[in-house]
Chains A and B, each alone.
Chain A
Amino acid sequence: MARNASVQTKVGFTVLAWAVALLLFSPILWTIVTAFKTEAEAIATPPTFLPLTFTLDNFGDVQDRSDYIKHAWNSILVSVGSTLLGLVIAIPAAWSMAFAPTKRTKDILMWMLSTKMMPAVGVLIPIYLIFRDLRLLDTVHGLTIIMTLINLPIIIWMLYTYFKEIPVDILEAARMDGAELWNEIVHVLVPMAIPGIASTLLLNVILAWNEAFWTITLTSGRAGTLTAFISSFSSPQGLFLAKLSAASLLAIAPILLLGWFSQKQLVRGLTFGAVK
């Protein structure tokens, strides 16, 4: 009996999980099918689900209108670049917080996280002015720097949680074996933390890829990423729904695929190392 009940519960939860997942996925699904419809069909009432006339014209129009390739390349540069730069800064920072903590370490960690809770508009004006004076507006490296800065607290936090799980004995053994700090980090800490570092890297590429606020305010034509590319479709003339869907699909496809192939790592990353 108890066994039966538990099977039923499992089936129940599975159905529920699928239902929730489908519900969450439905807007994306709708976007995908709409991208292959004609503009007229996209706004037809009653709406069709699968396209009656399957077309790829929307994708061509989108590329002609606002150069998808250039924006996608900028997205890759900014998301990967800012994550790598972030890791270079965060690995030593997380090392010192995990293995050489002081009385203030916990406070600093909390403070760093609290900066993520502040609305970004709060610092828009000073950052905009700094960027203007340093001629960083609408540059890929400028955007990379700001992206590194806004994601650094998360990168440090994630690495810190992973590093905490590494027995300090092993690092001490390395010190006894004659490893100076650099060797200790490069030859012992980093190889042991590879799964954690990979999760952190993935999650932050995704966060940076999806970032819209700073991208849209600090770039215009040259350094715009895919989020800027999408937003350029939001002031449409005429029929636009299918083109907007095509643009959205193009913008999310790379990250959707990346996420799909790295699900396991991502779940680990999102649970901050709580699940082993």
Chain B
Amino acid sequence: MGSITLEHVNKSFGEVEIIPDISLEIEDGEFVVFVGPSGCGKSTLLRLIAGLEDTTSGHIKLDGEDVTGAPPARRGLAMVFQSYALYPHMSVRDNIAFPLKMAKMPQAEIDKKVEYAARTLNLGSYLDRRPRALSGGQRQRVAIGRAIVREPKAFLFDEPLSNLDAALRVNMRLEITELHQQLKTTMIYVTHDQVEAMTMADRIVVLNAGNVEQFGSPLELYKRPANRFVAGFIGSPKMNFVDGPEAEKHNAHSIGVRPEHFALSTTAGAGQWAGTVNVAEQLGSDTFLHVEVEGLGLMTVRTDGEQTFRHGDKVYLTPAANRIYRFDAAGLALQDKPT
């Protein structure tokens, strides 16, 4: 079991309030991702749950039990750090065995569990090496091994893949997702990688300046962002925003259109907005055009990779009518359809 409840959690470092007031309910077995810009308090929130930082006020409950004042060792959670944080003076075997040793498990049982974890994570042939003699990916596996052997109530990950190269990151992402499907243990995963958040999460918490902007499934956030911040944060490339008269036509303070929600034409006049291609980023499967739209500014447009564009090409854009997001002056999403 591993449900986690935060009730009005507040955290200040001295005078500086980092997390004003957060309440969250994370259900048992869920995979929850915390995303948000750098410095928004993702790691701090995770460390509060871990017990590595003390809350300034508010309560944290694990399976309904208040653990606000409990030290990390008593919470039964496992954490995987960005730096892996392996014990450099211990072999891989001893690293993985350490939490079991701390739990005073009999040696025979420890050996069995370490063997099993090593087999699951393909670490068999490295068991007697020191962490120093391992690659980044192998170290990450050891860190995960150390976390899973003790069968924690929940796993906490703080940007575990950000030190790995792109290809390995994709592999490890899949491995962690598979691990979650296999173990069905609650996982909280901090990242600022869009793709990781969208692909791994059951639900995503979008944080901004220590506040929860929205908590929902990836598609919910994509389709129905609660406000301009979430709309701009979820989705890659970023949503295009337009203020002023063009937005007023839609009865809103500002409107947003995702790059993938444009109809694009090169025929003169065949589109709502006329513009000039500034830069064309051709990825093969897709092409991202940065278009200078007359009177509205720079916009990003996604199109298929079939057509070639050059700097200075004239293009005509039409936003898909039912995919226009509308926001009021405070940035909150307007739900009703434009009139």
Contacts and interface: CB of A to CB of B under 8 A. Distances in A.
Interface of A: 167, 169-170, 172-180, 183, 187-188, 191-192, 194
B141 to A, nearest CB: 15
**Secondary structure dominating the interface of A:** helix
Given A177-B99, A177-B146, A188-B87, A172 B81 contact: yes
Given A169-B83, A176-B78, A192 B102 contact: no
B102 A183 contact: yes
Contact of B88 (A175, A183, A192): A192
Contact of B50 (A176, A180, A187): A176
Contacts of A175: 51-52, 71-73
Best-surrounded residue of B50, B77, B87, B156 (most CB of chain A within 10 A) = B87
B102 A177 contact: yes
Contacts of A188: 87
Contacts of B79: 172-173, 176
Interface string B74-112: 000111010101111100000000110011000000000
A174 B102 CA distance: 9
B85 A170 contact: yes
A177 B98 contact: yes
A60 B146 CA distance: 63
Contacts of B99: 177-178
Complex A-B, nearest 3 residue pairs according to Cβ-Cβ distance, in ascending order: A177-B99, A178-B102, A173-B85
A169 B50 CA distance: 13
B85 to A, nearest CB: 4
Nearest to A173: B85
B42 interface: no
Contacts of A178: 73, 99, 102-103, 150
Contacts of B156: 176
Best-surrounded residue of A178, A188, A192, A194 (most CB of chain B within 10 A) = A178
Given A177-B146, A178-B150, 16 more contacts: A169-B85, A170-B87, A172-B79, A172-B81, A173-B146, A175-B71, A176-B72, A176-B77, A176-B78, A176-B156, A177-B98, A178-B99, A180-B73, A183-B102, A192-B89, A194-B89
Contacts of B150: 177-178
A174 B52 contact: no
B102 A172 contact: no
Contact of A179 (B73, B83, B86, B146): B73
Contact of B83 (A167, A180, A194): A167
Best-surrounded residue of A174, A180, A191 (most CB of chain B within 10 A) = A174
Nearest to A176: B79
A174 B88 CA distance: 12
A173 B52 CA distance: 10
Q: How large is the interface on B (under 10, 10 to 19, 20 to 34, 35 or more residues)?
A: 20 to 34
A255 to B, nearest CB: 30
Contacts of A173: 79, 81, 85-87, 146
Contacts of B88: 170, 192
Nearest to B98: A177
B87 to A, nearest CB: 6
A176 B50 CA distance: 7
B52 A172 contact: yes
Contacts of A174: 87, 98
Contacts of B89: 191-192, 194
A169 B102 contact: no
A182 B86 CA distance: 19
A192 B132 CA distance: 13
B96 to A, nearest CB: 10
A91 B78 CA distance: 27
Nearest to A166: B88
Interface in B106-123: none
A192 B86 CA distance: 12
13 contacts: A175-B71, A176-B72, A176-B77, A176-B79, A177-B98, A177-B102, A177-B146, A178-B102, A179-B98, A183-B102, A187-B98, A191-B89, A192-B89
A172 B102 CA distance: 14
A195 B87 CA distance: 16
Contacts of A170: 85-88
Nearest to A175: B72
Contacts of A167: 83, 85
Contacts of A183: 102
Contacts of A176: 50, 52, 72-73, 77-79, 156
Nearest to A171: B85
Interface in B61-76: 71-73
Contacts of B78: 176-177
Nearest to B152: A176
B81 A179 contact: no
A75 to B, nearest CB: 33
A128 to B, nearest CB: 45
Contacts of A177: 73, 78, 98-99, 102, 146, 150
Nearest to B52: A172
Nearest to A183: B102
Best-surrounded residue of A167, A170, A192 (most CB of chain B within 10 A) = A170
Contacts of B98: 174, 177, 179, 187
Nearest to B101: A187
Interface string B14-39: 00000000000000000000000000
Contacts of B51: 175
A194 B88 CA distance: 12
A15 B87 CA distance: 44
A167 B81 CA distance: 12
B71 to A, nearest CB: 7
A192 B102 CA distance: 18
